Every structure is written in structure tokens, then in C-alpha cells.
Amino acid sequence: MDKKTKIWILVFVLLCAVGVGAFLLLRGDREGTVAVISVDGEELDRIDLSRVKEPYDIEVHTGYGRNLVHVEPGAISVTEADCPDRICVSMGRLQGGGIPIVCMPHHLIITIEGGEIDG
């Protein structure tokens, strides 16, 4: 193995370590309780998860397909989807800030923001 190959391997390993570290740090962020469901950047619903008492489901129909969003006290998840990859379902429950749930084929995003909502 020549020197340049070793340098590239070292650079890649370091970059991977930095990337994984950054991802874990971002995912650990648990700020905020307000879930925002949006499609194509248009907000469909805004729910304060800290005020949810009973779990319920929301059906989201868009021009791209259907997702079933499950809302429960303190958490939100996608439980059913008719998209081809169903990654949004396997992402599990979102409990705070961190990494948004994404269903890319349906352009659906669920983020959690800080702050309160009125009413």
C-alpha cells in the first residue's frame, strides 16, 4: 500500500468519525414539543405534543400518496404509508427536536419545534 492510499484511508476514516459524531449530537437534541406536519413546505398541522392526552391518528392524503400519522402524548410517528420505501415508518417515534421524520416520495416532513402555541 503506497503512502497516498494510506493518507486517503486516514482522511476518510477521520471524516466518518466526525460525521457520525455530528449526527449523534444532532439526534440527541431533545428541545421543543410542537410537532409540525408539512407537505411541499406547506404546513398542514401543528400539534403541541405536551398537551396530547389520548393517542390519535391523522390521515395525510397528498397528491403523492397517503401517510398515517400517529400522535401520542410526547411523541409522533408515521405508522402506515403507501410509499415504495416506507423509510418514514421505520424511522420510529420522534420525541423532540433532533432529526425530522421524512417521507421523501410524498414530500412529507414532520419536525419538532420549540415554543408554545396559543389556544
Partner 1 sequence: MAEPPRSGTQKLTLMALLTAMALGIFMLEAQLPSPVPIPGVKLGLANIITLTAMLLLGRKEAGAVLAVRILMSAMFAGSPSTLIFSAVGGTFAYLVMCVLTALIPEKRLWVTSAIAAVAHNAGQLLASIWVVKTPTLWVYAPILAVSGLITGVFTGLAAMYLIRALRRLRR
Q: Given the rule CB under 8 A, which residues bind partner 1?
A: 4-5, 8, 12, 15-16, 18-23, 26, 38-41, 64, 84-85, 87-88, 90-92, 98-100, 102-107, 109, 111
Q: Return the beta strands (E) in the chain as ranges.
A: 34-39, 42-48, 56-61, 66-72, 75-81, 101-103, 108-113
Cβ 96 to partner 1, closest distance in Å? 13
Please state, in angstroms and rounded to a whole number, the distance separating the CA atoms of residues 41 and 17: 32
Cβ 8 to partner 1, closest distance in Å? 5
Cβ 16 to partner 1, closest distance in Å? 5
Burial class (CB in 10 A: 0-12, 13-18, 19+), 21: exposed
* Closer residue to partner 1 (CB): 71 or 110: 110
* Closer residue to partner 1 (CB): 52 or 105: 105
User: Are 67 and 45 spatial neighbours (Cβ–Cβ below 8 Å)?
Assistant: no
